[in-house]
């Protein structure tokens, strides 16, 4: 095993320009950890926010002035190379995947060392590149749909459905038997339709929160709000009498308003946020089965080599990406 690797790190908050290449030691696993050779990762909107230190309150945990987690990247798909003496579930050679958000990030590198509990086994039928598109965004989508109890026959609105989380939310809602209306920019319509949306709405031309009837739509049994461009009260107008609304919060103010006032002002409608749980193993196992069966299909915009990590992040940051963006380490991790 190579004792050193080349990766990108940062010493300040900011855009992709703060990243710089560096040589680093490949850290051996501690007692309860595993060392994974990264086969592929992907860039999430959350990776961009993590790099920039947004929202500001997140810096309480990430480092007020200087980021504690120097290497970005949440999604990991790869192979176990070594394990610590207390590891019981995984062994060298196992195929694994994870969202390492709560374990220091670091996925944009040739190797990642993290606790065994972060990793789920990856089915043999799922390519690493496909798996790398799912952990962070897929878990958010799956848990948000569970929060609003999406089931067969429900009419579901996914607001902001053309980004990282939305296409997976569409596919998962369709798997659960829902009728899905997807809202985003017109140029993302094909992406949303290919994900399985029954209708797509251009938010720049139609405000679905005003009156669903004017958009030719019925009221919705469930709303998953990823874009968070409107108050939760605006979506109350388009919910069925016992409809459910959940916010995937993008700001502190939106989170606090929805978490505190949603349950009070929603009336018979259930409105609020949900407790996201990164790298929940049973949820990764479910998503792995869906990937293996073909019920969940990755939509990839393009792939970048690890040496072009800043360009990959900028591609997502600029909203040019139409689908997930992969970061794939080179065969030689010492570039």
Please, what is the Cα angle at 294 between 290 and 295, to 5 degrees? 55
Residue-range definition of the domain harbouring residue 65: 4-133+298-328
CATH code for the domain in which residue 108 is found: 3.90.180.10
pTM, entire model: 0.92
Q: What is the pLDDT of residues 101-120, one digit of tens each?
A: 999 999 999 999 999 999 99
CB-based contact 121:79 (threshold 8 Å): no
CA distance 304 to 285: 27
pLDDT of residue 60: 76
Q: Is the pLDDT of residue 249 over 70?
A: no
Give yes or no: residues 119 and 154 share one domain.
Answer: no
Give yes or no: residues 176 and 106 share one domain.
Answer: no
Give yes or no: residues 126 and 205 share one domain.
Answer: no
CA distance 335 to 329: 10
CA distance 51 to 96: 25
**Average pLDDT, stretch 66-81?**
95
Residue with tokens 């659960």: 176
Give yes or no: residues 116 and 167 share one domain.
Answer: no
Q: What is the pLDDT of residues 255-275, one digit of tens each?
A: 555 666 666 566 667 767 777
pLDDT bucket at 59, cuts 50 / 70 / 90: confident
DSSP string for 253-300: HHHHHHHHHHHHHSTTSEEEE----TT-HHHHHHHHHHHHHTSS---E
Give yes or no: residues 127 and 80 share one domain.
Answer: yes
CA distance 160 to 208: 12
């Amino acid at each position: 095993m190579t004792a050193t690797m080349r990766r990108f790190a940062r010493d300040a908050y900011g855009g992709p320009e703060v990243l710089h290449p560096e040589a680093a030691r490949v850290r051996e696993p501690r007692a309860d950890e595993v060392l994974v050779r990264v086969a592929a990762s992907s860039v999430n909107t959350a990776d961009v926010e993590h790099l920039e230190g947004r929202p500001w309150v997140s810096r309480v945990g990430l480092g007020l002035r200087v980021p504690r987690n120097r290497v970005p990247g949440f999604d990991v798909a790869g192979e176990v190379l070594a394990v610590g003496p207390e590891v019981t579930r995984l062994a060298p050679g196992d195929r694994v995947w994870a969202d390492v958000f709560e374990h220091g990030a670091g996925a944009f590198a040739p190797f990642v060392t993290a606790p065994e509990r972060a990793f789920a086994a990856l089915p043999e039928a799922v390519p690493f590149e496909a798996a790398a598109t799912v952990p962070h965004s897929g878990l958010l989508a799956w848990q948000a749909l569970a929060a609003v109890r999406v089931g067969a026959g429900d009419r579901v609105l996914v607001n902001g459905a053309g980004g990282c989380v939305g296409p997976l939310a569409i596919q998962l809602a369709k798997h659960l038997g829902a009728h899905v209306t997807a809202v985003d920019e017109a140029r993302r319509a094909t992406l949303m339709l290919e994900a399985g949306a029954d209708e797509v709405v251009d938010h720049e031309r139609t405000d679905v929160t005003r009156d669903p009837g004017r958009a030719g739509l019925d009221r919705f049994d469930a709303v998953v709000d990823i874009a968070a461009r409107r108050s939760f009260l605006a979506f109350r107008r388009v919910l069925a009498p016992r409809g459910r609304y959940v916010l995937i919060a993008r700001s502190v103010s939106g989170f606090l308003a929805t978490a505190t006032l949603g349950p009070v002002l929603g009336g018979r409608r259930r409105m609020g946020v949900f407790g996201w749980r990164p790298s929940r193993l049973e949820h990764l196992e479910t998503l792995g089965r869906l990937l293996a069966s073909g019920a969940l299909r990755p939509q990839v915009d393009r792939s970048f080599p690890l040496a072009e990590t800043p360009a990959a992040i900028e591609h997502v940051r600029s909203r040019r990406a139409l689908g997930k963006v992969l970061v794939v380490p080179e065969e030689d991790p010492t570039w």
